Amino acid sequence: MAYIIGIDLGTTNSALASVNAARATDPLALPPVELFPIPQLVNPGETRDEDLLPSFLYLPGPTDFPQGSIALPWNDTPAFVTGRLAQKRGAENIGRLVSSAKSWLSYSGVDRTSAVLPLNAPEGVGRISPVAASRAYLQHLRDAWDAKTPDAPFDEQTVLVTVPASFDAVARELTLHAAQEAGYRNVVILEEPQAAFYAWIERNPNWRELVNVGDLILVVDIGGGTTDFTLIAVSEEGGELKLDRIAVGEHILLGGDNMDLALARTVEQQLASGKGTKLDLLQFQALWQQARIAKENLLAAGNKKEDHPLTILGRGTGVVGGTIKTKVSREELHRILLDGFFPVTSSHEMPQVRRRVGLTEMGLPYAADAAVTRHLARFLRQQAAASQAPVRRGHSGLACPTHVLFNGGVLRAGLIRRRLMEVLNSWLAEEGMSAAAALSDEDLMHAVARGAAYYGLARQGKGVRIRGGIARTYYVGIETAMPAVPGLPAPLKALTVAPFAMEEGTDLQFPDREFGLVLGEPAEFRFFQSAVRKDDPPGLLLDQVGDDLEELAPIEVHLGTDGANAGDVVPVTLETVVTETGMLQLWCVARDGRRWKLEFNVRERVGA
């Protein structure tokens, strides 16, 4: 059997869906995409199939679980616990819990292959890297598939793994690296908002009747760790409707984790002011995890309870007697979410930038402004407006969507979806535009995995395909050939090597631009990206690196001499390739045909 497997490697939850490609013989009646039930530990000694794998790892101590109680159907002695039981036990012992590995995977401020998680692990507790944690989730999904589907081994199937649209080339490379370490073969990378839209197409075979030429679809994806915005334009080609992804937002580390933290901080302040109770670091970390559970339960469809209990264990000798009990109300949760994260704002209000403290703890670089609505305003005014492509705009230049597709666990809450539509439609009214309509999709938690599987069919010509390509414009730094000046580095120029929307499976050569490549000794290559410079043509040389370019982790390599002398400078031209799997490569090509590939390092220089 030939399956296409779609995997949503999420910050808070991961999912797997599949479709039997062998049955896709009629393009007008494709086989359904099906969710895969994931076996996992839910209690010590109890394994159960669940439709999501919580993206949590628990690093067990020698006395945490009875011997044999964390065995899995495919592994009698796992090194750590993954999934639901890890999530539950970690809320009680936060110092052994690894969470938000995906957010760390995108953060260049740490070496993401170094053992840094759990960040606040007490002395004596081992740590693992964000890449290793991601590999563990992917490995669990692979082993679960093989255990339940022995007649269709995982290694023989087509596999697609999703990443946020705002992930840069380095973060994508790290995700691919984690998948390869988990034993995945021929992995294809797909952006999550596109996957969510593919899921909507798969669930609505009549989608051509629901949108029209000239429509502009906004995909809002708010998960546990990130907020992603994407615009998809509907046009016509050869009498058929065509879909083009025309804009992708910047990487915004703002999601459910931030909301859980805000709720936990509120409860912490109430305990301090009302009862004089002060929490230590580990107690607060445990409260943060419980706040997430409270938020999910209070926002769950059909839940009528007005509050949710919270229990925090005491510390030291007073563990039992010092237990702290409190609760969080539905009214308070709604106030925190709507006023703090989804306030009613003007489309001219941009995210606030706070002044940084000189010294700060090592941690994730969360967005300085928690208001999702202000980030959306900036996206529609700046990133979306930066393209010269025809986009439906208002009189002030605001990109004006006709439809909105929601995705991500945070947006399961109806009150948040309603607030976002209320704010967006108030902006559209100011622009003299008609109100946008929400595209229905009742499966926000699984849409990305389902859409990834459908995209696998589209790649085989058996479904609708969105034209997208890479989500950024990429540049390589070129050192200026100028006389040395004491104390000052040589000025740096930037060559456009991969334009926005460069399609998978295509390549570019720059035969008219020749540069010197240093062989046989360590050399550093500097790369940049831009989310707003969407119209720079390939081969354009910028005289300086401006504020609209963001530097990526540099590549430090020692290129072989291949017959030359160490330190020789060989004339080369450049060639850019975007592989069919969605990865970016840059090749240096000598006059005699010798080629050297520059790959984004998985062990980048920290703090560069």
> Between 78 and 352, whose confidence is greater?
78
The 8-class DSSP code of residue 84 comes to H
Our CA dihedral for 365, 371, 377, 379, rounded to 10 degrees, sits at 20
In the prediction, which pLDDT does 247 show?
A: 87
Q: Using CA atoms, how far apart are residues 42 and 50, in angstroms rounded to an integer?
A: 9
State how far the alpha carbon of 402 is from the alpha carbons of 213, 425, 435, 449, 533, in Å: 11, 10, 7, 25, 25
Q: Using CA atoms, how far apart are residues 247 and 467, in angstroms rounded to an integer?
A: 12
Pairing label, strands 53-54, 550-551: unpaired
Q: Which helix (H) or strand (E) holds 57?
A: strand 57-58
What is the tens place of the pLDDT at every residue in 354-388? Answer: 654 444 455 677 888 999 999 999 999 986 666 55
3-state secondary structure 463-492: CCCCECCCCCEEEEEEECCCCCECCECCCE
Domain spans, the chain: 3-189, 473-598
Amino acid making up residue 255: G
CATH architecture of 3-189: 2-Layer Sandwich (3.30)
What is the percent of the chain where pLDDT is above 90? Answer: 51
In the prediction, which pLDDT does 25 show?
A: 76
Q: Determine how many CB atoms are found less than 10 A away from the CB of residue 442.
A: 8
Question: The whole model's pTM is what?
Answer: 0.84
Strand boundaries in 400-472, DSSP class E: 403-407, 437-439
Query: For residue 170, how many C-alpha atoms fall within 13 Å in the half-sphere facing its CB?
Result: 28
In the prediction, which pLDDT does 384 show?
A: 66
Q: Using CA atoms, how far apart are residues 75 and 78, in angstroms rounded to an integer?
A: 6
Confidence of residue 556 (pLDDT cuts 50, 70, 90): low
Return the bridge partners of 189, or none.
161
Sign of the alpha-carbon torsion through 181, 186, 191, 193? negative
* Structure tokens given for 159: 């596999």
Q: Using CA atoms, how far apart are residues 168 and 172, in angstroms rounded to an integer?
A: 6
Mean of the per-residue pLDDT values for the chain? 87
* Structure tokens given for 61: 């101590």
CA Rg value for the chain: 25
In the prediction, which pLDDT does 28 show?
A: 66
Q: Using CA atoms, how far apart are residues 437 and 440, in angstroms rounded to an integer?
A: 9
Q: Using CA atoms, how far apart are residues 380 and 321, in angstroms rounded to an integer?
A: 53
What is the tens place of the pLDDT at every residue in 494-514? Answer: 999 999 888 888 999 998 888
Please, what is the end-to-end C-alpha distance for the chain in angstroms? 47
Q: Judge whether 371 and 343 are in contact, CB under 8 Å.
A: yes
Q: Length of the chain in residues, anyone?
A: 608
The 8-class DSSP code of residue 337 comes to I
Range with lowest mean pLDDT among 336-340, 369-373, 587-591: 587-591
Q: Judge whether 517 and 561 are in contact, CB under 8 Å.
A: no
Confidence of residue 605 (pLDDT cuts 50, 70, 90): very low
